[in-house]
Chains A and B, each alone.
Chain A
Amino acid sequence: MSVKSLRILVPVKRVIDYAIKPRVNKTQTGVETTGVKFSINPFCDIAVEEAIRIREGTKGLVENIHVVSAGPTKAQDILRQALAKGADNSTLIETGDKEVEPLSVAKLLQKVIEEDNSNLVILGKQAIDDDSGQTGQILAGLLNWPQATNASKVEFKDDKVFVTREIDGGSETVSASLPMIITTDLRLNEPRYVTLPNIMKAKKKPLKKVKPADLNIDIASRLETIKVEEPAKREAGIKVGTVDELIEKLKASGSL
C-alpha cells in the first residue's frame, strides 16, 4: 500500500439523546434543552467505531485517531467517551451553546485537518438534531477531496479505499485514493460500549480546547431561524376489533 500511515480525524457532535422526544420551547425559538439528556450523535458513534476498527484491521497503519467536537464545554463528555473507546487525542472547539451551521463546522474542521495533516475523515451522515446531512460533503468540497457518503462498508485494497454506499433502491460501490471523506450510515457497524478501566485511562488522554477565533474562522450564521413550531397534530384515530371493520373504515376514508 502506497499509503504509509493513516491519520484519521473523526468529528463528533453532542445532541439530544435519540430516544428522547424533543419539545419545542415556549418562545418558539428552538427545542427545550434544560434538564434533557444529551449523548453523542449515533452516526458519530459509528464513525468513531469505524476508525477504531480500521486501526484493528490494518495492523499499524493507523498512526493517529483524533476526535474533534465543535460545541459547548459539555461536549467534552462525548470526546472523553470517544477517547475511552480508543481515540488517541481530542480537541474541543468551544463555540458556546449556539448551534453552528454545517458550513462553519466544515471550515473549522478544515483548519484542524490542515494542522493535523489528516488523510482520512470519517463523519456521521447526519446529526439527528438539525437533520442537515451536509457537513461531510461541504468539508470534501472545501478540501477538494473525494467523498463517499452513507457508507455501509469500508475496505482498504492496495492504495485505494472501496466504500459501499447506501443509495435509493440499493447500494453502490465507489473507490478513491486518500485523502478522502467518508460519512457513515447505520449499517456500517455496531459501536462498542466503553469499559470502566478505559474511561479511567481516557482521563489521561489529551483534550485540547480552542476557540473559533484561534482558527480564524467566523462562525456567524447564514440562516436565520425565524421560528420553530410543533408539527401539526394528527386527529385521534379509532381502534377496530375485526378485519372487516378495518376494511370498512379504509373504504370510508377513500384509501381502499
Chain B
Amino acid sequence: MFARTTRSLRTVSVSTLRARLLSTLTIAEHSNATLNAGTLSAISAARQLGPGPINVLVAGAEADVTSIASQIAQVDGLTKVITVANTAYAKGLPENLAALVAAEVKANSYTHVVASGSAFGRNLLPRVGALLDVQPISDITQVVNESTFVRPIYAGNAIATVHSTDPIKLVTIRASAFAAVELAGASTTIEASTNDPNVPKSSEWISEEITKSERPDLGTAKKVVSGGRGLKDKANFEAVMYPLADALGAAIGASRAAVDAGFCDNSLQVGQTGKVVAPELYLSVGISGAIQHLAGMKDSKTIAAINKDGDAPIFEVADVGLVADLFEAVPELTSKIKA
C-alpha cells in the first residue's frame, strides 16, 4: 500500500516536471555556405521562451553542415548544435526537411520549434505542423510567455496576442523584431543526430537566380533607401537610387509598384507580401505609402520621405518629410551626404 502511494507520487512529480521542462529546437537556415542572419534572431527569440535547453539543428550537405555548425557553436547559452549531413537537405527542400524536423521533435520531445520567418522558414514550418498535428504560429514579434505570442495581422493594422493550446509550439519569428545573438565566445558541443528519417525525394531543386549586390542585405541593413513609382523607369531608378544607397551605405528596397514596373528585382519589395524591415533609417523616395507598403517598414526607427505630393499617406508615418521633386532633391541629398 505504502509502496504504491510512493510510486504514484513519484509518477506525478515526474510528469509535472516534464510538463514544465521547456526544450527548444531552433532550425538553422543557411544557403550557399553562408549562415542566414535570421537564424541568430530565431535563437534570440528561443532564449526568451524561458529556461530550458536550446538546441540548434543544422542540416545540409556535409561541408556546409560542418562550417555552419562551427559558427553557430560560438553562440553563448546553447545546449547543443545537432547536425545532420545528408545531401537531401542541401537545398532546404521542405519535403525532406520537414520529415527530419518532425523526427527530431518526436525523438527528443521538444516543446518548441523556432525558425526565422523567412521564405525558408515559412516554407518549412507549416509542413512540420501537419506532420505533428500542430497549428503553427507565423511571424511572431514578441514572446509573452512560453505559450503566448504577439503577431501582426491585417498587414500590421492589428496586433494579435495568441495563446497556443498545442503541446508543441511551432513558431516562425519576424527577424526584425528580435536582436540577433552574437557569434562569439562559446564552444557549444556539436553532435551528429541519428534521427535522419531519409524520406525519398519527391521534389527536385533545379536552379536559382540570386540577385548579386555589393550592398548590405535588405532584411538586416541599418539603413534602407526605397524607391517607388515616382522614379518613373528603371534607368531613373538606377541613376537616382544607387548613388544615394552607396553614399549612405544603405540597402535598396522598393515598393510593389516599382517592382511590378520592372525598375528592380522582385526580391527587393518591401511590404506585406515582400520583406519586412526595421532599419535605423528608412528613406522612402517617390513612394505614396499604401497600407501594404507601410506593413513592411513602419517599425523603422526613423522614417524619412521625399515625395512631391504633400498629401501622400507616407507623410503620416514619416518623422521627417520633404515635399519636393525627387529628381532634384535626391541628387542634391546624395552629393551633400558625400561631402
Contacts and interface: CB of A to CB of B under 8 A. Distances in A.
17 contacts: A101-B135, A138-B127, A142-B130, A146-B95, A167-B119, A174-B205, A221-B135, A223-B162, A225-B162, A228-B153, A231-B157, A239-B310, A240-B321, A242-B322, A246-B304, A246-B320, A250-B304
A132 B155 CA distance: 11
B319 A230 contact: no
B313 to A, nearest CB: 10
A225 B337 CA distance: 47
A70 B136 CA distance: 19
B210 interface: yes
B265 interface: yes
A244 interface: yes
A165 B209 CA distance: 10
B273 A172 contact: no
A18 B292 contact: yes
Interface stretch (A6-14, A60-68, A122-130): A122-130
6 nearest interchain CB pairs?
A141-B130, A137-B126, A222-B135, A134-B126, A255-B281, A141-B127
Contacts of B256: 186
A197 interface: no
Contacts of B211: 169-170
A166 B137 CA distance: 22
Interface majority SS on A: helix, strand, loop or mixed?
Answer: mixed
A224 B155 contact: no
Contacts of B130: 103, 106, 137-142
Given A141-B126, A238-B319, A246-B322, 10 more contacts: A21-B157, A103-B133, A131-B272, A139-B130, A147-B127, A170-B210, A171-B266, A174-B203, A239-B310, A246-B304
Interface residues of A, number: 84
Nearest to B36: A168
Nearest to A99: B153
Interface in B313-335: 315, 317-324, 329, 332-333
A22 B122 contact: no
Contact of B122 (A129, A133, A244): A133
B158 A240 contact: no
Contacts of B157: 21-22, 31, 231
Contact of A240 (B125, B148, B205, B322): B322
Contacts of A166: 119, 266-267
Interface residues of B, number: 90
**B122, B123, B125: which has the most chain A beta carbons within 10 Å?**
B123
A137 B210 contact: no
B280 interface: yes
B329 A243 contact: yes
B159 interface: yes
A225 B317 CA distance: 28
B27 to A, nearest CB: 14
B94 interface: yes
A174 B209 CA distance: 12
B310 to A, nearest CB: 7
A169 B202 contact: no
B303 interface: yes
A237 B282 CA distance: 14
Contact of B203 (A101, A175, A238): A175
Given A150-B119, A234-B298, A247-B337, A187 B205 contact: no
